Amino acid sequence: MPIKRRGSPLYEARSRLHDVTVVQTDHGVALLVDGVLRAVESDEKKFFAHLVLPAMVQANKLDRVLVLGGGDGLATRDVLKFSPVAVTVIDPDCVVFGIAQKAPFTALNNSSLTDVKVTKQCAMLDSYLKGVSKPFDVVIVHLPDPTTDIIAKLYSSELAGLLRKSVVKGGTLSFVGTMKTGRVEPVIAGLEKLFKYKQLVIKEIPLYGERKFLLVSDLELVPRRNPI
């Protein structure tokens, strides 16, 4: 379903990785990365409910949470509802972090990126994961769509191995991928092999299109707390 822009862009910026734009549309505020929809006001809560809530509800512990590709602050907003001890947010694009900490985007993410529990870092996701020494209780993975060669290279079986090492035994990992390319398949296949339990759900979210949501863990995937 296409969105229609209203007026001039609210923000436009070019980083070393992407063209990043925030626009007002007939579906509310939207974030575009290289012209591809990253988030839109009318549908983003449905999207992040599928990505974040299952991992948080079914994790054994919620002390330390890692959000990869979370520069827009939307996944972090939903993570914080569960009162974790600490949240680390990694995004490869510093420009996205900057835009997400300005109005009108702060109204969508509840200024989550400036919460005292949140630590932000601008880094390539694979490089960051190679340096993780203490695994996390929950890992939320929202990679940028593979619109550039640099980002497309992230979608690999090697990434699955790095993600496996980033999660504690009994932790949960939630991953979402677009259905528009085949690049997501090696990551999903790798994660399914590396964890004992899995839940794969395909959802059609009107403005996001069809997406694959994968939840994996070494513990049986059952609710351990109520959704918020």
Domain count, the chain: 1
What pLDDT does residue 180 have? 66
Position 148 in a domain: yes
| Cut 0.75: pTM above it | yes
Position 143 in a domain: yes
What pLDDT does residue 1 have? 59
Question: CATH code at 189?
Answer: 3.40.50.150
78-94 tens-digit pLDDT: 999 999 999 999 999 89
Q: What angle do CA 11, 150, 138 make, to 5 degrees?
A: 80
Q: What distances in angstroms separate CA 139 from CA 11, 88, 135, 217, one per listed residue? A: 30, 10, 9, 10
Residue ranges for the chain with pLDDT beneath 50: none
What pLDDT does residue 224 have? 94
Position 102 in a domain: yes
What gap in Å lies between CA 35 and CA 107, rounded to an integer?
22
Q: Which domain holds residue 162?
A: 43-217
Q: Give me 28's structure tokens.
A: 């509310």
192-215 tens-digit pLDDT: 999 999 999 999 998 888 899 999
